[in-house]
Amino acid sequence: PERTLVLVKPDGVRRGLVGEVLRRIEAKGYTLVAAELRTADAELLGAHYAEHEGKPFYPALVEFMASGPVLAVVAEGHRVIEGFRVLAGATDPTTAAPGTIRGDLGREWGLRVTQNLVHGSDSPESAAREIALWFPHL
């Protein structure tokens, strides 16, 4: 079965939403393969977000992602890459649909798009690359 990399971002960890995100992943029927709580360094985040380097929001994104621990998770299941992105909802929590992680739990007031609780790989190539970065032993 397919695997994806999920991150509960520092805002999600700070707000105590790790259990809620894992509950939704498991309730959907996906299997947890690996999970680790860690504060990412600039090297890891630079590699993870290489495609966004040079964009206006990149410095703030990397600073935010290094601001505290993230929960990195590898989840497995039928079409989990696309399925988790549906669970997560649109990038901007303001317009993410109700029923999604970002739509239900994203703060609607004073929230920057950067702080959108979770990350999920967007393609099989990204998933393979990101899983190798965060879990080199897998």
Quick check: 76 and 31 in contact, CB under 8 A?
yes
Angle at 48 between CA 89 and CA 70, to 5 degrees: 65
Does residue 122 touch ligand ATP according to CB under 6 A? yes
Residue 83 CB, shortest distance to ligand ATP, in Å, is 13
Does residue 4 touch ligand ATP according to CB under 6 A? no
CA separation for the pair 8, 72 (Å, rounded): 7
Neighbour-count burial of 38, counting CB atoms closer than 10 A to its CB (0-12 exposed, 13-18 middle, 19+ buried): exposed
57 is in an annotated binding site: yes
The site for ligand ATP, by CB under 6 A, has a size of 9
Does residue 31 touch ligand ATP according to CB under 6 A? no
Measured between its terminal Cα atoms, the distance across the chain in Å is 15
- What mask, x for binding ligand ATP by CB under 6 A, covers residues 78 to 97? -------------x------
Please give the positions annotated as active site.
119
116 is in an annotated binding site: yes
Does residue 61 touch ligand ATP according to CB under 6 A? yes
